[in-house]
Structure 1
Amino acid sequence: MLRWLATLVAVACALALASCRAADSSTDGRDDTVVLGWTQIKPRHVQLPLGDPIPTTGATLSTTDGVVLVNIWASYCVPCKKELSLLQSVSAAGTTVVGISRDARASFAEDSLQTAGVTYPNYLDSAADLMVALDGAIPMNQVPSSVILVDGDAVAVHVGPFETADDIDTGLRLARTTS
């Protein structure tokens, strides 16, 4: 019985680690290695907001004009929750930040947003509509990830968590060189 329980716990841990993953593998011969950090992409239009607003923040997206940092996250992802406070400070300093939660229910995201004191707009995208719109620029299950929009066009993606505000500034500088 104890061996069965240990096996069950090991499988549960493996599944939990796979939910916040840094690479995608396939058997179709393609190289699906994910590059962590910022990558410039061919501009493609992304219509925001996607999904339903998460009401806890009390904010809604007013425009996608200019530079917008879109962060894709989920409440079950520890690195995602860790960077919420950093993103809040970047938002408070004047960068337009929008959160896109991949949670199944808004209530899951609301708790994390309230704990982190997030006031920037957040939307629920459990169907991964943003990932589909990005056409493979970010793997479907990769959280956290971020996208920089310039006047509604995705121009750069960041795979993995942000550690510092400098990580975000690097992407913002990259976006300015494409506009």
Structure 2
Amino acid sequence: MLLKPRNLTLIAVIAASIYVIVSPKERQMNVFLTGYSYWDNTPRASAAIARPVIHAQAAGIGTFEDPITLAVGHSIYFGRSFMDFPTGTRFYFPLLRKYAIVEDLCGDGRTPQNGPCHIGYEGHPWLDIYVDGSEAGNQTANDCMADITGVQPAIVNPKRRYRVHSGPITEGGCQVF
């Protein structure tokens, strides 16, 4: 049986969606978490984001009502970007005591699917949380990103009940609990 072109598109969408969460139920998983700052964002020295939901630019204090912007890997097929987690997906990071929301893309170029954000790290999805740092400076933001980078637990589609340490990550002391 020959596949029609529209079926090939469907196959590409399925292949590009390795980590897509289809259930609204809360669930725990381990992720590889990194940070990106105002200083190393694209474009550099900006808070620009690709898929705004709550914020017009990367922001957030980590509460359920004001989650921090989160970037996820994506693939480009047939000229369209397919995100590893849908825009608007919420996460809770117990070690940071922060809620986050998918509003940005991690990885760039013509084939982001070949980069680490989409491929993941040692079998774990790669998530990139906005640490800000615009007021603290580039080096402080870099140090903070190094401190939070690693495999850690995350809750996908979290409830509102979790303990929060509110404030931007870098400017809030970059605390890991």
When normalised by structure 1's length, the TM-score is 0.37
Structure ranking higher in strand proportion? 2
Q: TM-score, normalised by structure 2?
A: 0.38
Greater per-residue helix proportion:
1
